[in-house]
Amino acid sequence: KGSLRNQKWFSYCIAMKTLFWNLNITKNAPVAEIHDLFCKKLQQCCVLFDFLDCVADLKGKEIKRAALNELVESVATSRGVLIEPLYPEAIKMISVNIFRTLPPSENPEFDPEEDEPALEASWPHLQLVYELFLRFLESPDFQPSLAKRYVDQKFVLQLLELFDSEDPREREYLKTILHRVYGKLLGLRAYIRKQINNIFLRFIYETERFNGVAELLEILGSIINGFALPLKSEHKQFLVRVLIPLHTAKSLSIFHAQLAYCVVQFMEKDATVTEHIIRGLLRYWPKTCTQKEVMFLGEIEEILDVIEPSQFIRVQEPLFKQIAACISSPHFQVAERALYFWNNEYILSLIEENCQVILPLVFGTLYRVSKEHWNQTIISLIYNVLKTFMEMNSKLFDDLTSSYKVEKQKLLPKKWSLHTRIKLLDERSSNIIEINIYKKTKNNNNNIKWIGDIKRELKSL
């Protein structure tokens, strides 16, 4: 219905104004005339065409395309075109063309990694509208003080919703445009950050679907870069409550590079967030998805690359427990990725400085995996790591080796039957009961009764 009305209106336009459609905006024309023409062209570009029907109204489509081209050209090349009255007209034309409810995905299980994205049918026009918008924002004539009346919060919100477009070409334009808007319209900055926050939170906790996460993160990467020091609590909150939880997303691989970049940016800004980051990543460490585990390890390496030694000490214990767990992963890519850390000179220097703490954490794993792993590459990598440790601190290494062997000897008879195991458990519990009696008799004699119960219970096993 709507498009029919448009078509009619458009026929009317053609009939009435063919003349000026064909008029070129020439540099030599009087300025007032150019403005008038520009304005009329903007108004006419508000007509929308049905691109799902690819043969409908070809002439009209071509005319609009040419007009848009001309507008782009003129904004890009001539100075003095963008006068105040044109702002509302330009923003209106842009809004009418780009703001639309994105259609449902053709493929409900759309997997951005596997499937071809659905491309926007109206791209021949849409691209030019985006191009015009971008030129408009980048023009030396552009005046933020005028634009902010039209590019307002509502406008930005709709712009952000478009980032969900499946069409990567559209998202690419949106990314550059939003970046310019953020750069030039200072009053919108906080609002844009807040809305991006909301999009991410919705993505993480509600829908798990949003096509533009990578693009938004890319913008954020440069925004974080510009944060003032000390970091505001709003920004820290964003890191801890949004960026870190983003790691839990199923589709992490699509935006992981951008996400890791943002995280590292935060660390470079303010080293005190390091512990939050590492503990956060450890908290969300993938349990079953090895592909994600490799990504996490990659991010950890990026982080360790820039970590301050004082911060490293604060996280080394939980971190290297996790790394040890990765080394013993039966998936060789995970083990391999973790072992590659020892090829990194800076990380190696950190390990060396803290050898007393780290070596005992990983030694058992290294020793065991070197004997058990199915993959030859892993075994030789481990061999190298062990060798490095030996060179680092041979005394500690020897101590650990001998105590490991002793431990292993002790472990040998532990292949208990279920029966004996429960008996041992008995002994352990009885021991506790002894302590229990000692402590409890001081406070409450009644407890003796239930200690008896426990003993009965253990006997019945």
Partner 1 sequence: VASSSWQDQPPGAMAGADSDDSLYPIAVLIDELRNEDVQLRLNSIKKLSTIALALGVERTRTELLPFLTDTIYDEDEVLLALAEQLGNFTMLVGGPEYVHCLLPPLESLATVEETVVRDKAVESLRKISHEHSPVDLEVHFEPLVKRLASGDWFTSRTSACGLFSVCYPRVSSTVKAEIRQHFRTLCSDDTPMVRRAAASKLGEFAKVLELEYVKSDIISLFTALASDEQDSVRLLAVEAGVSIATLLPQEDLEALVMPTLRQAAEDKSWRVRYMVADKFSDLQKAVGPEITKNDLVPAFQNLLKDCEAEVRAAAANKVKEFCENLPEDSRETIIMTHILPCVKELVSDTNQHVKSALASVIMGLSTILGKDNTIEHLLPLFLAQLKDECPEVRLNIISNLDCVNEVIGIRQLSQSLLPAIVELAEDAKWRVRLAIIEYMPLLAGQLGVEFFDEKLNSLCMAWLVDHVYAIREAATCNLMKLVEKFGAEWAQNTIVPKVLGMANDPNYLHRMTTLFCINALSEVCGQEITTKHMLPVVFKMSNDQVANVRFNVAKSLQKIGPVLDSNCLQTEVKPVLEKLASDQDMDVKYFAQEAISVLSLA
Distance CA 21, CA 63 (A): 8
- Residue 91 identity: I
Among 103, 226, 230, 330, binds partner 1 (CB under 8 A): 103
Residue 429 CB, shortest distance to partner 1, in Å, is 5
CB 101 within 8 A of CB 28: no
Rule CB under 8 A: say whether 28 interacts with partner 1: no
Touching partner 1, residues 415-454 (CB under 8 A): 422, 425, 429, 432-433, 435-436, 439-440, 447, 449-451, 453-454
Residue 34 CB, shortest distance to partner 1, in Å, is 35
Among 54, 80, 101, 409, binds partner 1 (CB under 8 A): 101
Touching partner 1, residues 109-168 (CB under 8 A): 154, 157
Among 31, 186, 424, 461, binds partner 1 (CB under 8 A): 461
Tokens describing residue 372? 């058990």
Size of the site for partner 1 (CB under 8 A): 32
User: Following DSSP, what letter does each residue of 41-107 receive, concatenated?
Assistant: HHHHTT-----SSTTTTHHHHHHHHHHHHHHHHHHHH-TT---TTHHHHHHHHHHHHH--PPPPPSS
Distance CA 396, CA 359 (A): 8
Nearer to partner 1, 416 or 450 (CB): 450
Residue 101 CB, shortest distance to partner 1, in Å, is 4
Residue 453 CB, shortest distance to partner 1, in Å, is 4
Touching partner 1, residues 349-368 (CB under 8 A): none
Q: The tokens 């505001």 sit on which residue?
A: 232
Residue 143 CB, shortest distance to partner 1, in Å, is 27
Nearer to partner 1, 409 or 445 (CB): 445
Residue 90 CB, shortest distance to partner 1, in Å, is 22
Select from 342, 338, 304 the least CA-distant residue to 322. 338
Three-state secondary-structure class, residue 165: coil
Nearer to partner 1, 19 or 435 (CB): 435
How many helices and strands, by DSSP H and E, does the chain display?
A: 23, 0
Among 201, 282, 313, 355, binds partner 1 (CB under 8 A): 201
Among 183, 245, 286, 298, binds partner 1 (CB under 8 A): 245
Q: How far are the Cα atoms of 124, 194, 315, 320, 386 from residue 276, in angstroms, in the given order? A: 46, 21, 9, 16, 30
Distance CA 75, CA 104 (A): 34
What is the number of other CB atoms lying within 10 angstroms of the CB of residue 90? 22
Report the interface residues with partner 1, using CB under 8 A: 101, 103-104, 154, 157, 198, 201-202, 205-206, 241, 245, 283, 422, 425, 429, 432-433, 435-436, 439-440, 447, 449-451, 453-454, 457-458, 460-461
